[in-house]
Amino acid sequence: MNLLLLHPHQYLHDNLWCLDERQGRHVRDILGLAEGDTFRAGILDGDVGVARVESIKNNEITILFNVESHPTPAPSLSLLLALPRPKMLKRILIDATSLGIKRIVLINSWKVDKSYWQTPNLKAGLLREKMLLGLEQARDTSLPELILAPRFKPFVEDELDRWAGPGRRLLAHPGDFPPMPCDLSEPVTLAIGPEGGWTDYEVEMLQRQGFECHSFGTRILRVETALPALVGRLMRLP
């Protein structure tokens, strides 16, 4: 936790906030802070700044929070991701969020096992919890918008164009395609397939929506490795 995220319901009055149990444990037991000590905090979907421990009474910790700046800017990169296997979904959401991705669609694909859509990991609360961990890691406050698209064709045909909006649409796909570009200044929508890749039919459907195929080398990478590798390549550094 590199930034403590304050949620609106934690506000008391006069810039005072109360910490929840997990935050309290972090401040007291991991950071080992006492009254008067300061640490970095931010308001969910708001600004970042410095918090000072005002009082520690049993399990109740009150802090005074002062805004210092806007959160770190995010790359203009939206992610269309074939639903990963449940074990990796959590990690991928933390990673995607820490890398600054603000718009994510988890979509079905021929090679996504149907059972993945039944997993309890897909409950909105759990997805949100993982994205909050990603924000705390990257010192960000702005929660990504996450959409589930359990049917590929209707989403791609009827909604994807509007969702992706302006900018380039890129697809990492093995084959004789131009290499994946890097350091792009325009907005990007990146499509990442399941283990085993999109089917030809799915690639055609995405191409019809303006996605360009690009090669990312001949190595087969796990989705959780390919995602940061592609984002690190595409994103424009300030």
The only residue of 76, 98, 142, 189 in contact with a second copy, by rule CB under 8 A: 98
| 159 vs 168 by CB, closer to a second copy | 168
CA distance 68 to 194: 41
CB contact at 8 A, 24 and 61 = yes
Question: How far apart are CB 215 and a second copy at their closest, in Å?
Answer: 7
Which candidate, 84, 83, 129, 90, places its Cα nearest to that of 107? Answer: 83
Verify binding: residue 202, a second copy, rule CB under 8 A.
no
* Torsions phi, psi for 73 (to 5 deg): -65, 155
Verify binding: residue 230, a second copy, rule CB under 8 A.
yes
> Which region, left, alpha or beta, applies to residue 165 given φ > 0 means left and ψ of -120 to 50 means alpha?
left
The only residue of 95, 106, 149, 188 in contact with a second copy, by rule CB under 8 A: 95
What does 196-211 look like in DSSP terms, one character per residue? T---HHHHHHHHHTTE
Question: How far apart are CB 179 and a second copy at their closest, in Å?
Answer: 3
DSSP annotation of 230: H
Binding mask 125-164 for a second copy (x = CB under 8 A): ------------xxxx------------------------
CB contact at 8 A, 202 and 193 = yes
| 144 vs 156 by CB, closer to a second copy | 144
The only residue of 66, 179, 201, 208 in contact with a second copy, by rule CB under 8 A: 179
| 206 vs 235 by CB, closer to a second copy | 235
DSSP annotation of 110: T
CB contact at 8 A, 209 and 153 = no
Verify binding: residue 101, a second copy, rule CB under 8 A.
no
Give me the residues that bind a second copy (CB under 8 A), please. Answer: 2, 72, 95, 98-100, 137-140, 179-180, 182-183, 215-222, 225-233, 235, 237-238
